[in-house]
A and B are shown apart, each in its own frame.
Chain A
């Protein structure tokens, strides 16, 4: 009897020892193409690591996410990766983590600084929305010749002012507001004169942008010198409509637009989706800012490994700002880049 018990105990213990550490990942919404890609990158990056990734789709509901997170707030899961649904609700999750002594790495949706300050074991991996706007502005400057006083041929009416239409994400959305505000501010601070013909809210959505573009063309038509979009999806939707209205035309039917000889209207996006890169190669989309989910995933996975192993973060390969923020740079993508 005693021997059987001992054997059982040994089996149980060895089973526990053999168990691999699991790190749960909570994605705010998997139907977001960018986040789906992000999730895949995290899983790929974690393949070489000693722990397992278990991901959860929070279906764009903070209630669902709270429920999911609550189940993993225990000693078996010392590190959690969370892409929050509602950044304002995050303080409750942070308090819960504090109560449970869990470490949380938030990513791609930045909690309020006052919430991050609530607890030591909180990290944020993401990209700075302002930087994306600055880089987008830089792409625009490249297009217009990088000289604010003398714009090149893309200033179609030659008035020295860039006439633009902006496709904005959700009204009131942090990123939408920041991108819209800072792309204009960056251009004006560099001395460019810019006239915003219209700011059209298309809720980040491709179809909505496609519809709204029709209205914008009838209102402003040839006056538009550049179309600035808060993200790629809306940019690509707008391009569809622009094709329809012959702002893009593949005259020689070679499947590629040659902007020097064929009709072309500059459109810039942000995100750097695979389809956007395709569009750039085909000569439609002028450029985009890559929100580098590959690097972010790599940073997340490495940070998790270091935290699990308890290594001091002083030697961590990515730069850590204020002991909590790991900023991943955006990258400009265009034919020139």
Chain B
């Protein structure tokens, strides 16, 4: 995982990470908020619906239990009155009851054969009363009140109004005998409907009442007219309790409950469409906010990662160019402060690299040139002619031994000069080289001078510039040999002091004035090209190889001596 992350570019990384973090946080926030809102609204729908359902049921229960109470009281009176044979009083009681309780349309006490014992009704009673359900049920199950469905009044033969009949088995006394009978109470259905209408169940909200066989007793919905209508089927399936259902494309919360003391169930259908729609709207809004924020974050992170990676990519391309040797082009970036600083530093660096490269190139050229000049000095043809002339002279004088010596020295001298080592040689080699030179010169100048070496043994392996001694020694011979050819001495000293290797070439002779020394110093130090003087070439090479620390200078005492001193930083290393 981490490895795969490492493979991504900075830009992709910033993008991925910011999207991931913001995405996860937003997702969590959206989900939990939704969860909370949804559970709360669901709970709210449930409790509100249940409360409304409860209210509706209580209305019906109050209404119906009132009738049951009246029935129970009447049963008490029936026993009392019939015991004493006060049938007229009982009739009167029934009439009064219908007068006081406007819901009650009629009351009647019937014998188990369907004969009227007492009644509040003036019209003749239906002769086939014993066939009617509510009558039969009362006889069959004696200990409960029976509630019929809504039906056309059937206690009388030609009833037209809609009523609900409540029937109950009762005992009454006839001639001292306890008799079985049925007490019936008809109630108007208008209140049934009013009770349903009173409660606000929302648009298309309605109630349905069913009996224990799931038969439809009452429905406040005009579309539901029998026990197989949608609402009735839903209520039947729920049996008891609450549930959210979809009815004719509306979200309804259905509560099914029982009505006390009856065998009825009541289902309230409450329209909760608005709340459900609101829930969906909230969800959609949240998803929009979620997506919007995510896109905004994506764009911002993309923009900022571009601000960083674009200049980086430019730098990268530029580095490629430099790799290919192009130091001329410039990085030109826009972006954050750090990136601009980086680009500037990079530009400076490439400038500096270019400068250094030019310098190194120049130095190399210079070294090659001065070395070439040094070499040129060595194989100066005059030197060779003169030396060969001297050897010829030696030969003519039959100084064969000296001829041999001279030729060996000349050969060694040239071999060393053109040896493959370009720049630095060990001191002992340089000394050997110069010894050969001196031998040759001694022959040439017929021993007009003698020479000596004082070399510190310990520094024999120090590195020195190749062919640097010869011009000094040449000078010493030129200026040291007296016109009268009197004898002179050349002394070559080499020693080590304070981190420097010193080589001195000393000759006796006229010496030089300070002015002359200064003149020579100025000449060798000047930038002006002058191939004529060997000293200048040595000086230039010293500076090229060792830098400012190295030096070449002259000390002199008029009529006494001249000393040329070469000073080089100590080095045992090879090529510089």
Contacts and interface: CB of A to CB of B under 8 A. Distances in A.
Interface of A: 62-63, 66-67, 69-70, 73, 85-86, 88-89, 91-93, 95-96, 99, 112, 115, 170-172, 174, 177-178, 199, 201
23 contacts: A62-B257, A63-B53, A63-B258, A66-B240, A66-B258, A67-B50, A69-B240, A88-B258, A88-B262, A89-B258, A89-B260, A91-B263, A92-B257, A93-B240, A95-B240, A96-B239, A171-B72, A171-B73, A172-B75, A172-B168, A178-B143, A199-B76, A201-B76
B182 to A, nearest CB: 14
Given A66-B257, A88-B260, A89-B260, 12 more contacts: A63-B58, A67-B50, A70-B240, A70-B241, A88-B144, A88-B261, A91-B263, A92-B240, A95-B240, A170-B72, A174-B143, A174-B144
Interface string B119-161: 0000000000000000000000101110000000000000000
Contacts of A66: 240-241, 257-258
Contacts of B441: none
B212 to A, nearest CB: 5
Contacts of A63: 53-54, 57-58, 257-258
Interface string B278-301: 000000000000000000000000
Contacts of A178: 143
A177 B239 contact: no
A203 to B, nearest CB: 11
Given A91-B212, A92-B239, A62 B143 contact: no
A95 B265 CA distance: 12
Interface of B: 50, 53-54, 57-58, 68, 71-73, 75-76, 79, 141, 143-145, 168, 212, 239-242, 256-263, 265
Contacts of A172: 68, 71-72, 75, 145, 168
Contacts of A88: 144, 258, 260-263
B240 A171 contact: no
Contacts of A69: 240
B212 A62 contact: no
A201 B80 CA distance: 13
The 6 closest A-B pairs by CB, nearest first: A89-B258, A171-B72, A70-B241, A172-B72, A96-B240, A96-B239
Nearest to B214: A95
A298 B308 CA distance: 82
B168 to A, nearest CB: 8
Contacts of A171: 72-73, 75-76
A72 to B, nearest CB: 11
B240 A62 contact: no
A170 B212 CA distance: 25
A92 B255 CA distance: 13
B239 A99 contact: yes
A74 to B, nearest CB: 11
Most chain B CB within a 10 A radius of its CB, from A85, A86, A92, A99: A92
Contacts of B54: 63
A62 B75 contact: no
Contacts of A112: 141, 144
Nearest to A89: B258
Contacts of B144: 88, 112, 174
Nearest to A69: B240
Contacts of B242: 70
B561 to A, nearest CB: 93
A296 to B, nearest CB: 22
**A contact patch SS:** helix
Contact of A86 (B71, B239, B240, B258): B258
B552 to A, nearest CB: 79
Contacts of A99: 239
A174 B145 CA distance: 11
A70 B68 CA distance: 28
Contact of B260 (A85, A91, A93, A174): A85
A112 B256 CA distance: 21
A99 B241 CA distance: 12
A201 B69 CA distance: 13
A172 B78 CA distance: 13
B26 to A, nearest CB: 24
Nearest to A201: B76
B207 to A, nearest CB: 15
B266 to A, nearest CB: 10
Contacts of A174: 143-144
Nearest to B144: A88
Contacts of B71: 172
Nearest to B256: A92
Contacts of A86: 258, 260-261
Nearest to B242: A70
Contacts of B263: 88, 91
Contacts of B53: 63
B30 to A, nearest CB: 25
B241 A62 contact: no
A66 B61 CA distance: 15
Contacts of B72: 170-172
B143 A177 contact: yes
A62 B258 contact: yes
A70 B239 CA distance: 10
Contacts of B259: 89
A73 B76 CA distance: 41
B265 A92 contact: yes
A86 B57 CA distance: 14
A75 B21 CA distance: 42
B72 to A, nearest CB: 4
Contacts of B239: 92, 95-96, 99
A70 B54 CA distance: 15
Contacts of A199: 76, 79
A63 B55 CA distance: 10
Contacts of A96: 239-241
Nearest to B141: A112
A170 B143 CA distance: 13
Nearest to B71: A172
Nearest to A100: B239
A174 B57 CA distance: 23
Contacts of A89: 258-260
Contacts of B261: 86, 88
A94 B261 CA distance: 16
Nearest to A86: B260
B254 to A, nearest CB: 13
A245 B34 CA distance: 72
Contacts of B168: 172
A67 B242 CA distance: 9
Nearest to B57: A63
Contacts of B141: 112
Most chain B CB within a 10 A radius of its CB, from A86, A88, A178: A88
Given A171-B75, A172-B68, A172-B75, A92 B143 contact: no
A208 B258 CA distance: 30
A208 B492 CA distance: 151
A33 B99 CA distance: 40
A199 B71 CA distance: 17
A61 to B, nearest CB: 8
A174 B261 CA distance: 12
Contacts of B212: 91, 115
A67 B258 CA distance: 11
B114 to A, nearest CB: 23
Nearest to B80: A199
A186 B71 CA distance: 27
A171 B74 CA distance: 10
Nearest to A177: B143
A171 B259 CA distance: 19
A330 B240 CA distance: 35
Most chain A CB within a 10 A radius of its CB, from B71, B72, B241, B258: B258
B456 to A, nearest CB: 78
Contacts of B76: 171, 199, 201
A85 B50 CA distance: 19
Contacts of A177: 143
